[in-house]
Amino acid sequence: MKKKIIILPGDGIGKEVTTEGKKVLEKIASSFGHEFEFDEAVIGHDAIEATGNPLPDETLIKLKNCDAILFGAVGHPKYDNDPTLKVRPEQGLLKMRKELGLYANLRPIKLFDELLEASSIKPEVLKGSDILFFRELTGDVYFGEKGRKDDGNTAYDVMIYQRYEVERIAHKAFQAARTRKKKVTSVDKANVLESSRLWRETVQEIGKQYPDVQLEHQFVDSAAMKLIQNPRSFDVVLTGNLFGDILTDEASQIAGSMGMLASASVGDKVGLYEPIHGSAHDITGKGIANPLASILSAALLLDISFGLKEESEAIIKAIEQTLKAGYRTTDIADAKTSKEKILNTQAMGSYILKQLSQAHVAVS
């Protein structure tokens, strides 16, 4: 298979982890006889420094002309600590999602058995958890009208949803549920918000087309509680942009660490794959970031954008074996992990490659 992939490292540890994700994609190409052509582009803080624009036109053109994107993260503490700055790295990410029509963000929360102890939640509560979030990505307060009133003391962000935006992501969630445990939990705040009432009404309507899928509704506050009280009660979770952003960070604890969670953003055409973690400037440059979320993002890319199931599963298997052998990055290490088994970012990536080589020798 011949494909063009853009690597978009972004800021902070984004660069460190995508280097490992790319290494794994190269390895898959050589082992399975594919031809992946790679190109890079800038986004976020680095792009602002170089061009004044967090998503330069040159980057956007490249993104519109490729088969898939492996993205790292954007952000910089300089902006977090100064809310008055008008041009911000995150605007690059939001514009990219909008321009590429990436309306559905899939965030699988799957716990590797070996990491049961790494979570702050009790193992008996966690065991067997397997949740797939569908977070809507191009609507909500993120893209509604925003501004300040003339008095300077009033600010607003409008929470807005249109019926078609809810319909298209609802279809995706129900279709995915059909391939899983056939349950969709739609999360909203319909007891208070009008946009949530439109959300709920629309999801109920679409649900009628999937009578084989069980549909339940939860308010976001209650869902936040139930996620850690009984994570096994969820299968597919369908929710809006802001609620999805918050709930998936919370749900990352079910998988042991933010460093383990990958995501796929899909929609009109090209797919974008990225860890759910941010640029993490507090650990940037130390070489200790967990590259597994980026490597898992590469696995999602192969599966969803290219339909390469076997290749994708080979990566997941390699990760399982690595964890089984006791190797950890610091974020997923527990009291029992010996010092020799703690790997830095690059060593973790290389160990995964080694596992992939062995697996390939074993099958061929």
Residues that bind Mn ion (CB under 5 A): 245
Site for ligand IPM contains 157 (CB under 6 A): no
How many residues in total does the chain contain? 364
**Residue 93 binds which one of ligand IPM, Mn ion, none, with CB within 5 to 8 A depending on kind?**
ligand IPM
245 catalytic? Reply is: yes
Site for ligand IPM contains 11 (CB under 6 A): no
Integer CA distances (angstroms), 356 to 324, 327, 343, in order: 15, 15, 17
Least CB distance to ligand IPM at residue 309 (A)? 26
CA angle 78, 107, 327 (to 5 degrees): 80
Angle between helices 345-363 and 309-324 (to 10 degrees): 120
Residue nearest to Mn ion (CB): 245
Site for ligand IPM contains 356 (CB under 6 A): no
> How far is 252 from 235, CA to CA, in rounded Å?
15
**Residue 139 binds which one of ligand IPM, Mn ion, none, with CB within 5 to 8 A depending on kind?**
none
Q: Residue 287, Cα to own-chain centre: how many angstroms?
A: 21
Least CB distance to ligand IPM at residue 212 (A)? 31
Q: Which of 249, 317, 351, 354 is catalytic?
A: 249
Q: Which of 3, 23, 27, 142 is catalytic?
A: 142
Q: Answer left, alpha or beta for residue 258, where phi above 0 means left and psi between -120 and 50 means alpha.
A: alpha
**Residue 157 binds which one of Mn ion, ligand IPM, none, with CB within 5 to 8 A depending on kind?**
none
Alpha helices, DSSP H, located in 33-147 = 45-51, 57-64, 77-80, 89-99, 123-126
Site for ligand IPM contains 46 (CB under 6 A): no
β-strands 236-239, 183-188: how paired? parallel
Alpha helices, DSSP H, located in 104-184 = 123-126, 163-178
CB 93 within 8 A of CB 29: no
221 catalytic? Reply is: yes
Of 14 and 207, nearer to ligand IPM (C-beta) is: 14
DSSP states along 261-309: -EEEEESSS-EEEEESS---TTTTTTT---THHHHHHHHHIIIIIT--H
39 catalytic? Reply is: no
Site for ligand IPM contains 93 (CB under 6 A): yes
Site for ligand IPM contains 136 (CB under 6 A): no
Site for ligand IPM contains 320 (CB under 6 A): no
82 catalytic? Reply is: no
Judged by CB under 6 A, the number of residues near ligand IPM is: 6
CB 260 within 8 A of CB 112: yes
Of 94 and 177, nearer to Mn ion (C-beta) is: 94
Least CB distance to ligand IPM at residue 71 (A)? 10
> How far is 66 from 10, CA to CA, in rounded Å?
18
Q: Which of 189, 235, 273, 327 is catalytic?
A: 189
Of 42 and 242, nearer to Mn ion (C-beta) is: 242
> How far is 24 from 356, CA to CA, in rounded Å?
9
Least CB distance to ligand IPM at residue 276 (A)? 6
142 catalytic? Reply is: yes
**Residue 247 binds which one of ligand IPM, Mn ion, none, with CB within 5 to 8 A depending on kind?**
none
Q: Judging by beta carbons within 10 Å of its beta carbon (0-12, 13-18, 19+), is residue 162 exposed, middle or buried?
A: exposed
Least CB distance to ligand IPM at residue 265 (A)? 9
Q: Looking at 109, 198, 276, 302, which residue binds ligand IPM (CB under 6 A)? A: 276
Residues at the site binding ligand IPM, with contacts judged by CB under 6 A: 75, 90, 93, 245, 276, 278
Residues with active-site annotation: 142, 189, 221, 245, 249
